[in-house]
């Protein structure tokens, strides 16, 4: 700030009248000095003369910045010296950082920097959308990538990779129809933003699981058969899911993954908060979707599914019931027919009935696999 020598040197005993200050400023302005700078000096000086110098006690006055002022000044200087903002987690940028400097007028929409936009219309969070990477506003506000990703302002389809067990004790029709459901999901875009690639294997070991997102254990001889099959490495499956991958088990695959089946055996514990009741019923039966089930599976109400001795499950605290057996055919009306749980950093989804068999629900299969992979966002 430029302060006139006349003002800076003014004392209590020899303060200049304001008229003299004005005359001095006019003379300085006529010599080419900035009128705005001098006007600012006049305002500050007038404050000194009127407020500070009106104290006739003779006490000294400290005109240095307060501690708070000094800290603010140091902070601003340091920020300016740095030249760039610190990286934000996951590429996030503070709303104020995305607003152009010219957009400070109150009551108006912010003028956003290139690559940003005020998509939600809320002035309080400024230019919140990063159009290059935001899957809800990809390239332009409102352009959704659904379950996919946004890169360089373009939506990208994400591929979910699944391994379907097809060993001697797996139901081969269950294997084939699970694959057919994923094929149909691709052909009809049942889960927008995602595609599904699957392989089948007669063994489940670490090398087979490498590069996969989800292990699918279909219906088969029994949960006990899976647990005692030397070609199925339970420890490798546990490590796979715990690392952040997914598991989808139907019927025998559900029994094997639960913590325990009452009166029979302990499972792999991939659903540590789920126990099973063994059921003998074979045939079609209704299941009633819960609120969580409607959201995950994309359907509402009561649905008829094929059932072949699948588990009636008890979802304890930590697990989530997606659907309940709606009648007494299983002997366990009100028990869970489909559940989700977590294991380490991974996800587990179990189904007592067979959504892959007629009357089939290919969208359920695809959405279950997507959820287990951590890719289902809508």
Residue 64 lies in a domain: no
Within 8 A by CB and 6+ apart from 47, the residues are none
Average pLDDT rounded to a whole number, residues 24-36 = 44
Which of the four pLDDT bands, split at 50, 70 and 90, describes residue 101?
A: very low
pLDDT per position as a tens digit, 235-252: 999 999 999 999 999 999
Instruction: Choose one of 156, 174, 200: the last residue of a domain.
Output: 156
Domain shared by 197 and 295, yes or no: yes
Verify that 10 and 118 share a domain, yes or no.
no
Flag whether 75 is in a domain: no
Percent of the chain residues topping a pLDDT of 90: 68
Number of structural domains (the chain) is 3
Sign, CA dihedral 230-231-232-235, equals positive
**Confidence band, pLDDT 50/70/90 cuts, at residue 324:** very high
Q: Are both 293 and 202 inside the same structural domain? A: yes
- Same domain, yes or no, for 209 and 224? yes
Average pLDDT over residues 185-190: 97
Share of the chain above pLDDT 70, in %: 71
In a domain, 139, yes or no: yes
Are 279 and 312 in contact by the 8 Å Cβ rule? The answer is: yes
What pLDDT, on the 0 to 100 scale, is given for residue 161? 98
Predicted pLDDT of residue 125: 85
- So what's the pLDDT on residue 36? 44
Name the 3-class secondary structure at 233: coil
Task: Check: CB of residue 158 under 8 Å from CB of residue 149.
Answer: yes
Residue 126 pLDDT grade (very low, low, confident, very high; cuts 50, 70, 90): confident
On whether residue 377 sits in a domain, the answer given is no
If asked whether residues 151 and 177 sit together in one domain, one would say no
Q: What is the pTM of this model?
A: 0.72
C-beta of residue 218 within 8 angstroms of C-beta of residue 164:
yes
Picking from 100, 124, 156, the residue at the C-terminal end of a domain is 156
User: In terms of residue numbers, what domain contains 138?
Assistant: 88-156
Identify the weakest region by mean pLDDT among 125-134, 266-275, 353-362: 125-134
Residues 205 and 224 in one domain: yes
User: What is the pLDDT confidence band of residue 20, given thresholds at 50, 70 and 90?
Assistant: very low
Mean predicted confidence (pLDDT) in 258-278: 97
**Per-residue model confidence (pLDDT) at position 100:** 55
Same domain, 122 and 244: no
Whether residue 141 is found in the same domain as residue 167? no
The answer to whether position 229 is within a domain reads: yes
Beta bridge partners of 103: none
CATH number at residue 218: 3.40.50.880
The 10 Å CB-count burial string (b at 16+, else e) for 105-128 is: eeeeebebeeebbbbeeeeeebbb
Whether pLDDT at 298 is above 90 = yes
91 vs 312, more confident = 312
60 in a structural domain: no
Q: Are residues 207 and 344 in the same domain?
A: yes
Q: pLDDT at position 106, please?
A: 53
Q: Are both 216 and 360 inside the same structural domain?
A: yes
pLDDT recorded at residue 327: 95
Same domain, 261 and 166: yes
- What average pLDDT does the chain have? 80
Is residue 125 within 8 A of residue 110, CB to CB? The reply is no
Let me know if residue 261 belongs to a domain: yes
* Of 147-151, 182-186, 338-342, minimum mean pLDDT range: 147-151
DSSP 8-state symbol, 283? E
Please indicate, yes or no, whether residues 129 and 167 belong to a single structural domain of this protein.
no
End-of-domain residue from the set 111, 131, 156: 156
pLDDT tier for residue 123 given thresholds of 50, 70 and 90: confident
> Cα–Cα distance between 269 and 280 in angstroms, integer?
23
pLDDT at 181: 98
Q: Say yes or no to pLDDT of 35 above 80.
A: no
- Between CA 162 and CA 170 the distance in angstroms is 16
> Using 50, 70 and 90 to split pLDDT, how confident is the model at 110?
low
**Is 76 within a domain?**
no
């Amino acid at each position: 700030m430029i302060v006139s020598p006349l003002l800076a040197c003014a004392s209590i005993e020899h303060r200049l009248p304001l008229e003299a200050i004005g005359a001095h400023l006019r003379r300085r302005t006529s010599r080419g000095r900035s009128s705005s700078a001098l006007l600012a000096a006049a305002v500050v000086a007038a404050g000194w003369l009127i407020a500070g110098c009106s104290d006739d006690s003779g006490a000294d006055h400290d005109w240095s910045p307060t501690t708070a002022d000094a800290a603010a000044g140091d902070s601003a200087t340091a920020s300016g010296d740095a030249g760039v903002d610190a990286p934000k987690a996951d590429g996030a940028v503070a709303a104020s950082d995305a607003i152009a400097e010219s957009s400070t007028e109150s009551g108006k929409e912010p003028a956003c920097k290139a690559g940003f936009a005020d998509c939600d219309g809320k002035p309080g969070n400024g230019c919140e959308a990063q159009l290059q990477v935001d899957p809800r506003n990809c390239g332009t506000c409102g352009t959704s990538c659904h379950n996919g990703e946004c890169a360089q302002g373009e939506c990208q389809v994400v591929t979910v990779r699944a391994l379907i067990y097809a060993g001697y004790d797996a139901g081969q029709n269950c294997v084939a129809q699970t694959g057919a459901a994923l094929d149909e999901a691709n052909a009809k875009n049942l889960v927008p933003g995602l595609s599904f690639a699957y392989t089948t294997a007669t063994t489940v070991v670490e090398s087979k699981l490498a590069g996969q997102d989800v292990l699918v254990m279909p219906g088969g001889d029994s949960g006990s058969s899976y647990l005692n099959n030397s070609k199925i490495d339970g420890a490798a499956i546990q490590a796979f899911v715990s690392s952040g991958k997914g598991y989808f088990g139907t019927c025998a695959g559900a029994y094997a993954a639960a913590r325990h089946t009452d009166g029979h055996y302990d499972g792999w514990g991939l659903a540590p908060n789920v126990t099973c009741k063994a059921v003998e019923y074979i045939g079609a039966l209704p299941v009633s979707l819960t609120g969580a089930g409607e959201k995950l599976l994309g359907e509402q109400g009561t649905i008829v599914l094929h059932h072949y001795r699948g588990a009636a499950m008890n979802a304890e605290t930590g697990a989530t019931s997606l659907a309940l057996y709606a009648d007494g055919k299983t002997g366990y009306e009100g028990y869970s027919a489909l559940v989700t749980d977590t294991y380490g950093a991974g996800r587990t989804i179990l189904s007592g009935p067979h959504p892959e068999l007629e009357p089939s629900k290919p969208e359920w299969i695809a959405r279950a696999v997507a959820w287990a992979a951590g890719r289902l966002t809508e």
